[in-house]
Amino acid sequence: MILSDKTLWDMLEHNTLAISPLTPEQVQPASVDIRLGTTFSVVEDSPEGIITMDKEIHYKTIQTDTYMLLPNQFVLATTMETIALPDDLTAFVEGRSSLGRMGLFIQNAGWVDPGFRGEITLELYNANRCAIELRAGRRIGQLVFARMDQPALYPYAGKYQGQKGATGSRVFLDTELIP
């Protein structure tokens, strides 16, 4: 079930859901607006000219209030907000229609597991022919929350727990489930 603003306010007031910083204007009828933070990370060039899933990927991290996202460029960014989800709540990261109409994609892995704590890393891509100026503090997307039928048996405790800033891929830490 998707949570309403009334339920979200109740959870925030009782500290069963944590989002910080948060202004009242961010709480929408069925979502919470998230804002762009000041950390951006771009993949550094690899000597081999490729990146693989079994080796650590190196990133150049930039702290700035304004980032110019060039056409067909990909960058990791972070939210201003830090969140903490209870064990029976999940969230979906969704883009804003107004930004999508500019050619800005804000995520391609928009699932937040129950029990997650940290800042959300966004995967930004400019599909436009023009550069897009990104400014910290601007609304960049929305979190839509859904309550599970019961608390997770094993809440999230993975490699991105507690992340801060635009956190690069840690896929090289995965243990594959190959038979």
Q: What is the tens place of the pLDDT at every residue in 94-129?
A: 999 999 999 999 977 789 999 999 999 999 999 999
Counting runs of H as helices and runs of E as strands, what totals does the chain give? 2, 12
Q: Can you tell me the mean pLDDT for 148-158? A: 96
82 lies in some domain: yes
Which residues, 6+ apart, have CB-to-CB distance to 75 below 8 Å?
Answer: 40, 41, 42, 67, 69, 124, 166
| Known active-site residue 123 | yes
Give the per-residue pLDDT at 139: 97
Q: Give 84's strand partners.
A: 18, 117
63 in a structural domain:
yes
Position 76 in a domain: yes
**How does pLDDT run across 10-68, given as a tens digit for each residue?**
999 999 999 999 999 999 999 999 999 999 999 998 888 888 888 889 999 999 999 99
Q: Is residue 157 part of a domain?
A: no
What total of structural domains would you count in the chain? 1
Give the CATH number for residue 66.
2.70.40.10
Is the per-residue pLDDT at 71 higher than 70?
yes
Catalytic entry in 44, 81, 94, 123: 123
Report how far residue 91's alpha carbon sits from residue 154's, in angstroms, rounded to the nearest whole number.
16
Q: Where are the beta strands (DSSP E) in the chain?
A: 18-20, 27-28, 31-43, 59-63, 66-69, 74-84, 89-95, 104-105, 111-112, 117-126, 132-135, 139-147
Query: Helix, strand or coil for residue 172?
Result: helix
Residue 18 lies in a domain: no
Residue 40 within a domain: yes
For residues 178 and 71, the model is more confident at: 71
Rounded-to-integer distance, Cα 33 and Cα 21, Å: 11
pLDDT tops 90 at residue 171: no
- Specify if 97 maps to a domain: no
- pLDDT, position 179: 65
Give the mean pLDDT of 148-165.
Answer: 95
Which residue range forms the structural domain that includes residue 119? 34-44+57-86+102-137
Confidence of residue 89 (pLDDT cuts 50, 70, 90): very high
Residue 148 domain flag:
no
